[in-house]
Amino acid sequence: MTRPLALLLALLATVLSATAADPTRPNIVIIFADDLGYGDLGCYGHPNIRTPHLDRMAAEGMRFTEFYSAAEVCTPSRAALLTGRYPIRSGMCHDQFRVLRNGSTGHLPAGEITTAEALKARGYATGCIGKWHLGNWMNNPAGHPRKHGFDFYFGLPHSNDMNLTPVAPKGAGKLAEQQAEWWNAPLFRNEELIEQPADQTTLTRRYTDEAVKFITANKAKPFFLYLPHTFPHTPLFASKDFAGKSPRGIYGDVVEELDASVGKVLDTLRQEKLAENTLVFFTSDNGPWLIMNQQGGSAGLLREGKGSTWEGGMRVPGIAWWPGKIKAAQTQRTLACTMDLFTTSLKLAGANVPADRAIDGLDIRPLLFGTGTVQRDAYFYYRGTRLMAARAGDFKAHFMTQAAYGQAKHEEQTPPLLFNLRVDASETFNVATNQPAVLSQIAQAVERHKIALQPAPSQLVEAVPAPEKK
């Protein structure tokens, strides 16, 4: 090829890539609610929380009935989403502290490969807007999202309830009337602290504005936007356009504002003509925080909530949207999980799924596009480092059980409890005595999983959260 021709072709390629969507590198947007329950959206059966935008997203795309987070609390769930691995592998789980605390120096280990790192290597712009909770860089800079593949960050390093001020009353998170001065959450843009305490009534709106800005600023390149909302984790705050409007009270106000935020993100993609080259996935990091009384959400017909490995703790809403690629109005009943979003995102982007480590997430493109099935040996429910339960097909065996969120004591189940989730999603009727073959099949899947976990994770020490700073 002559030099002028090569230059011309290179120029043409540059012009094309700056103006046209690249179908080999679609945009990926993951919207992650915090503590939103399986039963909290209109399209999942809530009677009076109004979620027209999420309902429309489901009507235009695919609604999963068996979608799971990979943990029952925030930190391990987020680690799994972004690495495609059970948290036990990265060490981002802890039996005592459960999640990283305000004073923790632990963080997602540098050796972990995040979705953002893998997509950045494929030329994606990468942004994280919202709650991080995989390391507090105020204690240790290595925990910052920009050390884990994100070009841009805006949000809170951890949960919105982690900096109580001395004037906060006992049980402040459960109270219906929240006072801004009880909370001292730090709001960052990249490494810069821009507001403390953050005005929590503005967070959902500001995250949305930043998301819209990120999409429009990066519309000429492929982008990965991770949008982990602060809410509906308590304390609950809605902006004045939403406060006091929902029949479900402040919890409904907050969810309805999140719904409007999703609507804005999808509208932006439509307006920028990016919708047909963008996968958007909406889900939640764990089930509803039931101990927050009326300030906590609902798992619908599922048993228990956040902090437990009953279905309500880990089965969450999951909605996929990609006009022209994912057919409208589909209900997907095959089990899928947040770890699959890692593998599927990499596959969509043409990135190599890491081969030097175990990856638990599966490529669910066949489910999304209706081109085939996905084979999964079993799904494993962890609480900290403990394997509590496993599901294979319709059946779930509980090897250990615990009553509720706050209880650290686990009771070993011998024989395990067994539930047929297809007929008993509420895990009410133990059928262990009738199903020895099923129990043995699940036991074998657990054995294979335990062997696959060897050698035992060595990184636990690096990620161990320190106790709360007093």
Q: DSSP 3-state assignment of 284?
A: strand
Block residue for tokens 């994100």: 150
The angle formed by the CA atoms of residues 69, 150 and 153, to the nearest 5 degrees, is 90
Q: Catalytic one among 74, 93, 128, 337? A: 74
For the question of residue 133 being annotated catalytic, the response is yes
Q: Which of 21, 31, 33, 34: binder of Mg ion (CB under 5 A)?
A: 34
86 vs 322 by CB, closer to Mg ion: 86
| Choices 67-75, 166-174, 295-303, 447-455; region in contact with Mg ion by CB under 5 A | 67-75
Q: Considering the rule CB under 5 A, would residue 93 count as an interface residue with Mg ion?
A: no
Cα–Cα separations (whole angstroms), residue 4 to 14, 16, 17: 15, 18, 20
- Which of 36-52 are b and which e, b meaning 16 or more Cβ less than 10 Å from the residue's Cβ? bbbbbbbbbebeebbbe
**Contact 242/46 with Cβ under 8 angstroms?**
no
Instruction: Report in angstroms how near the CB of residue 74 gets to Mg ion at its nearest.
Output: 4
Q: Considering the rule CB under 5 A, would residue 311 count as an interface residue with Mg ion?
A: no
71 vs 442 by CB, closer to Mg ion: 71
Quote the tokens at residue 415.
């024989």
Q: Considering the rule CB under 5 A, would residue 35 count as an interface residue with Mg ion?
A: yes
Q: Considering the rule CB under 5 A, would residue 72 count as an interface residue with Mg ion?
A: no
Q: Is the peptide bond before 416 cis (omega within 30 degrees of 0)?
A: no
| Choices 68-76, 216-224, 314-322, 455-463; region in contact with Mg ion by CB under 5 A | 68-76
**Helix/strand number for the chain, H first, E second:** 12, 15
27 vs 136 by CB, closer to Mg ion: 136
| Choices 29-37, 348-356, 368-376, 440-448; region in contact with Mg ion by CB under 5 A | 29-37
Q: Catalytic one among 107, 133, 148, 229? A: 133
Cα–Cα separations (whole angstroms), residue 284 to 20, 147, 325: 32, 24, 23
Q: Considering the rule CB under 5 A, would residue 200 count as an interface residue with Mg ion?
A: no
Q: Considering the rule CB under 5 A, would residue 40 count as an interface residue with Mg ion?
A: no
Q: Considering the rule CB under 5 A, would residue 210 count as an interface residue with Mg ion?
A: no
Q: Considering the rule CB under 5 A, would residue 286 count as an interface residue with Mg ion?
A: yes
Q: Considering the rule CB under 5 A, would residue 74 count as an interface residue with Mg ion?
A: yes
Instruction: Report in angstroms how near the CB of residue 306 gets to Mg ion at its nearest.
Output: 6
150 vs 405 by CB, closer to Mg ion: 405
Closest CA to 395 of 336, 434, 439: 439
Edge to edge, what strands does the sheet with 411-420 contain?
379-383, 386-392, 395-401, 411-420
Q: Considering the rule CB under 5 A, would residue 31 count as an interface residue with Mg ion?
A: no
Q: Which of 40, 151, 259, 285: binder of Mg ion (CB under 5 A)?
A: 285
72 vs 151 by CB, closer to Mg ion: 72
What are the φ and ψ backbone dihedral angles of 379, each rounded to 5 degrees? -115, 140
CB-closest chain residue to Mg ion: 74
| Choices 162-170, 172-180, 283-291, 445-453; region in contact with Mg ion by CB under 5 A | 283-291
Instruction: Report in angstroms how near the CB of residue 285 gets to Mg ion at its nearest.
Output: 4
CA–CA gap between residue 90 and residue 357 (Å, rounded) = 11
Radius of gyration of the chain (CA): 22
Q: First-to-last CA distance in the chain?
A: 68
Q: DSSP 3-state assignment of 414?
A: strand
161 vs 285 by CB, closer to Mg ion: 285
| Residues that bind Mg ion in the complex, under the rule CB under 5 A | 34-35, 74, 285-286
Positions annotated as catalytic residues are 74, 133
